[in-house]
Amino acid sequence: MCPSNTVSRCLMRILVADDNEWVRRGVLNILAPVSHWEVCGEAKDGAETIERAAELAPDLILLDVSMPGLNGLDVARLLREKVPATKILIMSQHDPVLLLPRAIEAGAHACVDKSHLSTELLPTITSMMNARENRNSSRL
């Protein structure tokens, strides 16, 4: 994705998937100041998330774990097949420490507690994407 080993100056495309419009708006407001990230789409349920991900091929999906129809863990499993290069960050009201092993097994890369989105979302995304870039550069 980037020529250097850091994502700090790269354009990253993000899909925001949450059934609650207010949460999606809040996430958009948190992401807005980061000029090298763009929200390329939104989804309000599991099926729409899979559709939008296949259509948009985002670099990152911010995925609610509790959505109508397919839950976030089921969606993550399906996304691994459809868009394997896309990173997945699970957003949940559940304790991320308890959820993380199940999320990783499902194909996600990290979890963040929704009650701490304002302070933890940006650092978690940055850390997760920098870890990927550092792994990619170490293989060169």
Provide the number of structural domains found in the chain. Answer: 1
Q: What angle do CA 35, 38, 44 make, to 5 degrees?
A: 145
CATH number of the domain to which 35 belongs: 3.40.50.2300
Instruction: Report if residue 28 sits inside a domain.
Output: yes
**Model pTM score:** 0.86
| pLDDT exceeds cutoff 70 at 139 | no
Which pLDDT band, with edges at 50, 70 and 90, does 80 fall under? very high
Burial of 66 per CB tally in 10 Å (0-12, 13-18, 19+): middle
| pLDDT exceeds cutoff 60 at 136 | no
| Phi, psi (rounded to 5 degrees) for 8 | -60, -25
Domain carrying residue 31 = 12-138
Instruction: Report if residue 20 sits inside a domain.
Output: yes
Instruction: Report if residue 5 sits inside a domain.
Output: no
Both tokens of 137, joined, read: 């550069």
Residues 6+ positions from 52 with CB-CB distance below 8 Å: 15, 17, 41, 42, 43
| pLDDT exceeds cutoff 60 at 71 | yes
